Amino acid sequence: MYEDDGLPEELAGSTLVRRALPVALVLAALILIALLAPGLAEVRRRLSGADPGWLAAGVLLEALSCASYVVMFRPVFSPRMSWRLAGEISAAELGVGSLVPTSGVAGLALGGWVLHRGGMPADRVARRSVAFFVLKSGVNFVAVVVLGLLLAVGLIGPPQPWWLTIVPALGAALVIVLVVLAPRVGPGPAPPADASRTQRALSAVRSALVRGGREGLAVARRPRPSLLAGAVGYWIFDNAVLWASYHAVGVVPPASVVLMGYLIGQLGGALPLPGGVGGIDLGLVGTLVAYGAPAAPTAAAVLAYRLILFWLPLGLGVLGAAGLRARLRDPAGFLLESPAVSAAGPAR
């Protein structure tokens, strides 16, 4: 039996709920500002008249985005893992990700701890975590390049200035090139026997980043259909939540505006704010308006989008954490391979 003391605090449902409180308060404050502040009558009108059918569609689309995360997670970390276990780890990661910014890194760290506790070697966990992050983020950067160039030449969307098309496309392309070239740097020499803990940690991080980057690129060259479907689905369904939120408030900008505004505006989530609230919201609103979306409907749509994006993953995270805590207390119940595959022997 695993001792309860050995379980990470992040897997406690009470911890998720406690961390959700400050984020919920910030969201509540934003709602109150929208409802009470002078000069926001149009935002209030849009929110009060929001179509519940489209809001429900947004919830369904976010659920599909979360399901796509599971579909992407399993082939990267262990194709022989049971779908239920993959779902529980993914849900816990998404729940933590809804509370902590940094593009899901905190959630991946928690998932890595669980996988290691379940028997996966630490080196493999580190490499696969980096590979997963590279693949998940790669979809966004490729999309910025493609959409930016299509907008620049006028094949899609309303006309946009060059700094909203060429500049983001070139910036994303540069990041992709750096990611492709980074593994060539190599993991570096092993730290000497008398190296300090900090030196050993830095060496381990460099090795994990380089080896994980190589692994991610290798997987990207020969992706499993499920991995490709999951990576694209996670991105496109989350985009669609914002699109549904626009429909709910009665104004829908061109799809190209929603897509580019989403991709660039999400960078605000990297700010160290609770749940990314404020960073993502202001980033999305500012970017979408810069691309030509009307300000008041955009503010209303983004607020509706953020409420869905916060509460649904958090609820799934509580359920996933509960399942993982039960597994981690009983080593026999924690299998990184599904029983059917284990009985059939190792996959080739």
**Tokens representing 235?**
């991105």
Q: What would the mean pLDDT of 279-300 be, rounded to a whole number?
A: 85
Encoding tokens for residue 132? 């997963």
Give Cα separations from 103 to 37, 89, 98, 206 (angstroms).
31, 17, 10, 20
Residue 159 in 3-state DSSP?
coil
What is the token pair recorded at 230?
């999951």
Q: Structure tokens of 117?
A: 């506790």
CA pair distance 115, 125, nearest whole angstrom:
7
Q: Which two tokens stand for residue 152?
A: 């620049």
Q: Which two tokens stand for residue 286?
A: 């500012």
Is residue 14 pLDDT above 90, yes or no?
no
pLDDT at 246: 96
Report the alpha-carbon distance of residue 220 to residue 214 in Å, rounded. Answer: 10
Written in H, E and C, the secondary structure of the chain is CCCHHHCCHHHCHHHHHHHHHHHHHHHHHHHHHHHHCCCCHHHHHHHHCCCHHHHHHHHHHHHHHHHHHHHHHHHHHCCCCCHHHHHHHHHHHHHHHCCCCCCCHHHHHHHHHHHHHCCCCHHHHHHHHHHHHHHHHHHHHHHHHHHHHHHHCCCCCCCCCHHHCHHHHHHHHHHHHHHHHHHHHCCCCCCCCCCCHHHHHHHHHHHHHHHHHHHHHHHHHCCCHHHHHHHHHHHHHHHHHHHHHHHHHCCCCCHHHHHHHHHHHHHHHHCCCHHHCCHHHHHHHHHHHHCCCCHHHHHHHHHHHHHHHHHHHHHHHHHHHHHHHHHHCCHHHCCCCCHHHHHHCCCC
Q: Which residue has the tokens 């496109």?
A: 236
Two structure tokens written together for 249 = 């408030």
The mean pLDDT value of the chain amounts to 78
Is the model's pLDDT at 153 over the cut of 50? yes
Query: What gap in Å lies between CA 46 and CA 302, rounded to an integer?
Result: 12
For residue 8, pLDDT over 80 is answered with no
Res. 247: pLDDT tops 90? yes
Q: Name the band, by pLDDT with cuts 50, 70 and 90, for residue 60.
A: very high
pLDDT digits (tens, 9 = 90+) for 21-40: 655 666 666 566 555 554 56
Q: Are 227 and 72 in contact (CB under 8 A)?
A: yes
Give per-residue pLDDT as tens, 329-339. 765 555 555 44
CA angle 8, 9, 11 (to 5 degrees): 75
Structure confidence by residue, pLDDT tens digits, 77-110: 888 888 999 999 999 888 887 776 555 667 787 8
pTM: 0.81
Closest CA to 166 of 143, 178, 150: 150
Within 8 A by CB and 6+ apart from 165, the residues are 148, 149, 151, 152
Q: Tens digits of per-residue pLDDT, 113-122?
A: 888 877 888 8
On the question of pLDDT at 225 being above 90, the answer is: no
Inter-residue contact 80 to 345 (CB < 8 Å) = no
